Structure 1
């Protein structure tokens, strides 16, 4: 029964792709828009073939590479810009198969530290090499650092420690953003004042529990 479903999906996808290609050539041959629905149509038989057989790792690899290929094609063929923007999302897609291959170790603090560190380094290198005029890498760095921090304190069940570390990280983030964005206007004190209530509240809560 599964073979019939896969065969039907394959035949249906190829027939639809052929139909869209013909329509594309008739209506607008200068712009090959049929490529975009082709990507979605190809996922139909691939999903049935691999997911139903439990080959999730291979499925993740193929899908990630297909999406990256679509990004590259869109970047250099369909877009007017020469800026290689496909590098920004492609890195994130690679973590899908990587996480599956790592398995249970993806839940460990070590993996979180390695992944967050490599992410910070990767986007920092892109920042320096492609757009050094503004240090935008601080934004993904701030977000990804929450992963190991949250994981560490959650396993320790240290809510006050999490609030303290998170507040320090956020305070540092706002200070850096303030300095690099608008150094002539000191606005970081306002969100910092608000975020400081988090550890203060947690400290008061912990003290009430001990009393």
Structure 2
């Protein structure tokens, strides 16, 4: 039975997508809604083939290409006048890149190269697509956690991680506050909450180990 699982998945996926396409065209041609379930259904045979064969690298490549193709189609159908798909292309490509790197993907060097390239990518997009607001600070804030977590995770320096992470969060909120609403100083409220992280790490971990 197992040797027929892939064939069944392919045939069932094709029949289901064809059925949804016919229903879509019969009920309404103004909106091609069948694309959304079809996108999810296609992961069935792709996942079954790749994971069953142990081809994790091929799985990441195929799924990345499938996701990119879906976003391109959605962009073209819904808003062809604005190429929003480019905002997600580069981060998606890092999925197969990290899988292909294998154990090297866990190194701090890869984390630094990956985070720096992604931030540079969004800086360029920010300048080209909308320089009136520096929205690049939001993806940059998220991506900076990558090398920070890898560095301290390898060294098990969790207390130092809590301090540096708290500084990163505080700088982020201060920057957002200064850019979006400088007339109201609201950044102090989340910063106050964040400061409890390193404080709790110090008193409940280090003091406990010291027997104090």
Q: TM-score, normalised by structure 1?
A: 0.87
CA distance in structure 1 between the aligned counterparts of 2:99 and 2:20, rounded to whole angstroms:
34
Partner residue, 2:102: 103
Structure 2 counterparts to residues 46-61 of structure 1, below 5 A: 46-61=46-61
CA distance in structure 2 between the aligned counterparts of 1:11 and 1:70, rounded to whole angstroms:
21
Q: Tell me whether 1:140 sits opposite 2:115 in the alignment.
A: no
Post-superposition shift, 1:146? Answer: 1.7
Partner residue, 2:44: 44
* 2:144 partner SS: helix
Post-superposition shift, 1:104? Answer: 0.6
CA distance in structure 1 between the aligned counterparts of 2:166 and 2:131, rounded to whole angstroms:
28
Partner residue, 1:31: 31
Q: Tell me whether 1:62 sits opposite 2:62 in the alignment.
A: yes
CA distance in structure 2 between the aligned counterparts of 1:64 and 1:134, rounded to whole angstroms:
30
Post-superposition shift, 1:201? Answer: 4.2
CA distance in structure 2 between the aligned counterparts of 1:195 and 1:42, rounded to whole angstroms:
42
Corresponding residue pairs, total: 210
Q: Tell me whether 1:196 sits opposite 2:200 in the alignment.
A: no
CA distance in structure 2 between the aligned counterparts of 1:207 and 1:109, rounded to whole angstroms:
30
Post-superposition shift, 1:185? Answer: 1.8
Quickly say closer, same or farther: Cα 1:207–1:6, change in 2 above 3 A: closer
Cα RMSD over matched residues? Answer: 2.2
Post-superposition shift, 1:62? Answer: 1.3
Partner residue, 2:83: 84
1:130-151 Cα offsets, whole Å, 9 max, x none, are 1222111111211221221122
Partner residue, 1:171: 170
* Deviation beyond 6 Å, 4+ runs, structure 1: none
Quickly say closer, same or farther: Cα 1:49–1:182, change in 2 above 3 A: same
Give unpaired runs (5+ residues) of structure 1: none
* 1:136 partner SS: coil
CA distance in structure 2 between the aligned counterparts of 1:140 and 1:8, rounded to whole angstroms:
41
Q: TM-score, normalised by structure 2?
A: 0.87
Post-superposition shift, 1:3? Answer: 3.8
CA distance in structure 2 between the aligned counterparts of 1:199 and 1:17, rounded to whole angstroms:
52
Quickly say closer, same or farther: Cα 1:9–1:194, change in 2 above 3 A: closer
Q: Tell me whether 1:11 sits opposite 2:18 in the alignment.
A: no
1:38-80 Cα offsets, whole Å, 9 max, x none, are 2233322222222211122112111111111111111121x14
Give unpaired runs (5+ residues) of structure 2: none
CA distance in structure 1 between the aligned counterparts of 2:93 and 2:85, rounded to whole angstroms:
12
